[in-house]
Amino acid sequence: MAFIDEHNVLELLGKRIPPGKSATLNFNMAKLYTTTHVEVPIIIERSKKPGPVVLITAGIHGDEINGVEVVRQLIVKEINKPSKGTVICIPIINVFGFLNMTREFPDGRDLNRVFPGSKNGSLASRFAYQFVQKILPVADFCIDFHTGGSSRFNAPQIRIKKGEEMAMHYARIFNAPFTIVSRTISKSYRETCAKQGKPVLLFEGGKSRDSNKSIAKHGVEGVMRILAHFEMLKPKFEIPDPIGETILIEYSSWMRAKYSGLLHVKIPCGKHVEKGEYIATITDPYGKLRHKVKAPNTGYIINVNESPIVYQGDAIFHLSVSKETYEQEAAED
């Protein structure tokens, strides 16, 4: 188990880290079939002053690079060295997937769908179990970084569950361009944190197998604002001023392709569009088809499918909608 004793000494993975010390531990609980150990580095920075323990993670899905870059920058810029308390950074949780640039674990399972895991389950489930048992208990606050899957580019956003006032409070402090109300996925890391009473912010930005400077900047600056809120950001850092208040989106809907063909997106992700605005074109390779895609309602584009080829029915845009529109579409489904 992980804990901090009465002398403010952190015990993690069998190691004791006193106040004011740094450590890099290797979370080693599985081998490749070649018997090679796969180690997950955990970077720990502790202040001499007692305070909260903030756990910052990325790479639960091995092909999501933006989050890895955010945590890397926090480390290299020494933002993770707190003025009080402890910051624990895990840049890549799913090292297996990262090595092969795949979303899943080697057993084919999505790590973010097997939490809190099982002691005797699949490889992914065993890993989740060990993580929840040995690392998560010491955390007071969690921040987890993700991207859009496949070729779908997410606008930088924090996701919270409907009715979570504390999460909304922290989302406003992080102040990503968007805060999206979304349900908690069953057996996800986010759900496990919530069930254990640990505040968690889930950041989404960009797409898999891609590194985006703007997305990384939003992630780094959001973490700095959170650390400043907890009085953990060292005075040498200037707290980043947000461009504006985060835009809360409570209801959203996917637009799907009416035709198969080549997709030509005409607007940037994050743009506010008007109903009927021309936002993309779908063509065929032979010059016979040219279909204009228009926004079905006024709202913000919070996800764009950047794949050059789509099939009929593929999700191509995620668009904020009114409550009335959302309920009408739900009734039609």
pLDDT at 37 (0 to 100)? 79
For residues 295 and 174, membership in a common domain is answered with no
For residues 38 and 119, membership in a common domain is answered with yes
Contact 240, 233 (CB under 8 A): no
For residues 24 and 62, membership in a common domain is answered with yes
For residues 158 and 40, membership in a common domain is answered with yes
CATH of the domain at 225: 3.40.630.10
Does the residue 193 lie in any domain? Answer: yes
For residues 34 and 181, membership in a common domain is answered with yes
Contact 44, 138 (CB under 8 A): no
Does the residue 208 lie in any domain? Answer: yes
- In angstroms, the CA 78 to CA 76 distance is 5
One-letter amino acid for residue 300 of the chain: Y
For residues 159 and 223, membership in a common domain is answered with yes
Does the residue 324 lie in any domain? Answer: yes
pLDDT at 265 (0 to 100)? 98
pLDDT at 1 (0 to 100)? 59
Does the residue 39 lie in any domain? Answer: yes
For residues 50 and 94, membership in a common domain is answered with yes
Q: Which of these three, 166, 196, 229, is where a domain ends?
A: 229
The two tokens of residue 167 are 């999460």
For residues 210 and 266, membership in a common domain is answered with no
Domain hosting 264: range is: 251-332
What does pTM read for this prediction?
0.96
Identify the bridge partners of residue 56 per DSSP, sorted by sequence position. 89, 143
Does the residue 28 lie in any domain? Answer: yes
Does the residue 155 lie in any domain? Answer: yes
SS (H, E, C) 241-282: CCCCCCEEECCEEEEECCCCEEEEECCCCCCEECCCCEEEEE
CATH of the domain at 289: 2.40.50.100
- In the chain, the number of structural domains is 2
- For the chain, 333 residues long, the average pLDDT of each consecutive 10-residue run is 81 96 89 80 97 98 97 98 98 94 94 96 94 96 95 97 94 98 96 96 97 97 98 97 92 97 98 98 97 97 98 98 84 73
- In angstroms, the CA 22 to CA 234 distance is 16
